[in-house]
Amino acid sequence: MLPKIQHPIFEFTVPSTKVTTNFRPFLVKEEKILLMAKSSDDRADILRAIKQVVNNCAIDEKFDVDKLTLFDLEYLFLKLRSVSVDNVVRVSYRDNDDQKVYDFEIDLSSVEVKFPENVESVIKITNDMGIVMKYPSASIFDDRSYFRAGDDAYYELVLRCIDKIYSSDDVYQASDYTKEDLESFLDDCGVATFNQIQKFMTNVPKLYHRLEYRNSNGKDRVIELTSLTDFFTLG
């Protein structure tokens, strides 16, 4: 029999839970998954491939990739990429002031998740009734109906981010109700309530890295990187 290759083990902390989990680097078999997904015209295939790679590389038996938030998944994939391929990526951006292209090297090990301040997950409807929101889940990558939602995708995502509804009498778990039930309830809410929900949805934690430079016109410039596609091309 051929010798068994021993791979190093790395500890990464899941940003949303602060739980430390063990991972191995992704290997040729995971790289093949990514390459196959990149050859597809469907961005959903790429996102599902990322999820599969993270799940494959997790060593801890209790790890459940479907319980990750989207930003957890992006963060863990980026960290795995840094220990599996190279911790340094090279990106280029065109300055819209002087129209020149500037090159940067980014150490992926320095990229963290930025949590917004003063954003409430509990949305009050009245003094004794409200909605508890949760961050978008990585499980949405397997939901083909969501990716077919088109112009309704944002509203679909809002419905999936309702965790529970409470009143003075009871707490209602969103998972116990149909999409139609939740949609009917949300449609009955006031505009002010929906504005608070939108504030939560547009201020979820995300990857964050800041690039600073001075362009040829002597102006100080800042580029903020907040998603996987800002660091390297996924497809």
DSSP 186-219: HHTS-HHHHHHHHHHHTT--EEEEEEEEE-TTS-
* Total number of residues shown for the chain: 235
User: Would you state the pLDDT for residue 118?
Assistant: 87
**Lookup: tokens for 59:** 């060593």
Mean of the pLDDT values across residues 154-162? 90
Neighbours of 197 (CB within 10 A): 17
Share of the chain above pLDDT 90, in %: 74
Mean of the pLDDT values across residues 167-188? 94
Share of the chain above pLDDT 70, in %: 95
CA distance 140 to 136: 8
Mean of the pLDDT values across residues 203-216? 94
Is the model more confident about 223 or about 44? 223
Tell whether the model's pLDDT for residue 150 goes beyond 90: no
Mean of the pLDDT values across residues 175-202? 94
Strand-strand pairing, 101-107 and 112-114: unpaired
Tell whether the model's pLDDT for residue 23 goes beyond 50: yes
Domain positions in the chain: 10-109, 122-201
**pLDDT tens per residue across span 129-139:** 999 999 999 88
CA distance 50 to 30: 9
- Whole-model pTM: value is 0.88
Query: Using alpha carbons only, what angle is made at residue 15 by residues 107 and 73, rounded to the nearest 5 degrees?
Result: 75
Give the rounded distance of the alpha carbon of 23 from its chain centre: 18
Task: Supply the mean pLDDT for the chain.
Answer: 91
Nearest 10 degrees: Cα torsion 216, 207, 231, 211 = 20
